[in-house]
Chains A and B, each alone.
Chain A
Amino acid sequence: MEFYEGACELKLLQTLEGHTDRVWSLAWNPATGTADTPLVFASCSGDKTVRIWEQNPSPSSSSSSSSSSYSSWNCKAVLEDTHTRTVRSCSWSPSGKSLAVASFDATTSIWENVGGDFECVSTLEGHENEVKSVSWNASGSLLATCGRDKSVWIWEVQPGNEYECVSVLQGHTQDVKMVMWHPTLDVLFSCSYDNTVKVWADDDDDWQCVQTLGEPNNGHSSTVWALSFNKTGDKMVTCSDDLTLKIWEMDGTSMQSADGYASWRHLCTITGYHDRTIFSVHWSSEGIIASGAADDAIRFFVEDKDVLVDGPSYKLLLKEEKAHGMDINSVQWSPGEKRLLASASDDGTVKIWELASLCTGNGY
């Protein structure tokens, strides 16, 4: 354990200012970060705008000494004059061509990059009050939203920027904080102020809650703020106001069941590391779990292969105290090969970090 912690370092690459209120969340454009396309991400704020940030193309220098020749970030666009209240979260379509934005004004806007400018091409209405989260499925054919009205909506993407609501899912008994589609299956996950995670699947277009992960299943004892899947989608991590992270796995044996749906079970609880609400968690493609919390710190966890217990356990790889001057609301690993992480905070900034490559994750 000492070896790991000594071999890892979180380097701050840049602090991005621009928003005039707290930054609630951010989302990386999944189609960026390749040789030809510089990394792009969007940030959402209480200032009612979305900012699009792009990394400058890296200098084509073969003499760069580190594996990450650093290029700076610029704000490429500000999506404004659309939402009348806080913009809470956003999600890029898998192709990277569309950006869905969830707002406290009860609407979800859809934006497209039209010749370098972002345009709002559609507005989805229906929620009774604040929309808190939006997520595209793996193929980009479905969109899900959720909000304080306790409902989860599923929308079908149709030609000509039309979005048709195909289901309004009731089930949560309180404010729904986040929705996220499984990385490969058309199965939707939601987490809530009611302390549960719900799993929704469709049976011939009839969407239903197929599982609820609550206290009886070793679930959380307070608001669940976020969830994230590992690369292969057979494990999920949730974070909560109860100060724990929980790891869940898909029960392989029941994949053979008649309805084709596999259930989830609790694997382990990561406890004792956080002393204030954990708002965000994100599982990297290499297996490193990053968490952002209300104590201004970012933490990294990896599977502990040295411990001899029944089933996996996780250990703290690194803790970056005072990563921001205020609460951290969102942490997100970037796509692409570099170990970059972006964090968003109540302090109004977004920070770009690199986890120095001396340590290895326990990759999947």
Chain B
Amino acid sequence: MTLGLINANPVVHAKKERVARTEDPHGDDAVDPLDIYDILLLLLFFLLSVLSEESITVDEKLGRILITFTPTIQHCSMATVIGLCLRVKLKHCFPPHYKVDIKVSPGSHANEESVNKQLNDKERVAAALENPNLRQLVDECLYSSEL
């Protein structure tokens, strides 16, 4: 299945100046938002400004991560697929006890609530990833983003 371009002429945003990373005092289990950003920059190139550093919130004490992404158009039909791609790629990035929530950034999508509900229903996510057609689509998205 080939991926047609849904938004062929997205607006390209200037990349924010990166702040130098400080020494990590927390040890092995700490999750540095900037590490995640590195990964996401690479694999989500084609989404263009869908993510920024502000999109990633890490609560180390509770072991929670919130990722918000901004589809480039309000009625993006790929929103749930993008969310799935994020889950797949991030699955092995964190220690297993971390809880990852993925949402569209507030106001960025016409069906924000229903997209968020689906993306955070782990049973729906698990079943989707067992569906060969959907899995292939996700794999293609991720492959095409790795230059």
Chain A residues in contact with chain B, CB under 8 A? Answer: 22, 46, 85-86, 88, 104, 129-130, 132, 148, 175, 177, 193, 222-223, 241, 276, 294-296, 325-327, 347
Contacts and interface: CB of A to CB of B under 8 A. Distances in A.
Given A86-B126, A223-B121, A296-B97, 13 more contacts: A85-B130, A104-B127, A132-B123, A148-B124, A148-B127, A177-B123, A193-B117, A222-B117, A241-B121, A276-B99, A326-B96, A327-B122, A347-B96
A86 B121 contact: no
B123 A46 contact: no
A15 to B, nearest CB: 16
A178 to B, nearest CB: 11
B122 A104 contact: no
24 contacts: A22-B126, A85-B127, A86-B127, A88-B123, A104-B130, A130-B127, A132-B123, A148-B124, A148-B127, A175-B124, A177-B123, A193-B117, A193-B121, A193-B124, A223-B117, A223-B121, A276-B99, A294-B99, A295-B99, A296-B97, A325-B96, A326-B96, A326-B97, A327-B122
A325 B130 contact: no
Nearest to B124: A175
B97 A86 contact: no
A46 B126 contact: yes
B96 to A, nearest CB: 6
* 8 shortest interchain CB distances as A-B pairs: A85-B130, A130-B127, A104-B127, A325-B97, A104-B130, A326-B96, A86-B130, A326-B97
Contacts of A132: 123
B59 to A, nearest CB: 12
Contacts of B117: 193, 222-223
Interface in B88-147: 96-97, 99, 117, 121-124, 126-127, 130
Contacts of A85: 127, 130
Nearest to A324: B97
A119 B1 CA distance: 39
A175 B140 CA distance: 27
A90 to B, nearest CB: 16
Contacts of B123: 88, 132, 177
Contacts of A130: 127
Interface in B3-50: none
Nearest to A177: B123
Contacts of A46: 126
Nearest to A105: B130
Contacts of B124: 148, 175, 193
A220 to B, nearest CB: 13
Nearest to A104: B127
A2 B96 CA distance: 34
Most buried by A among B99, B123, B130: B123
Contacts of B99: 276, 294-295, 327
Contacts of A294: 99, 122
Nearest to A147: B127
Contacts of A148: 124, 127
A130 B134 CA distance: 14
Contacts of B127: 85-86, 104, 129-130, 148
Contacts of B126: 22, 46, 86, 104
A93 B13 CA distance: 60
Interface in B59-99: 96-97, 99
Contacts of A223: 117, 121
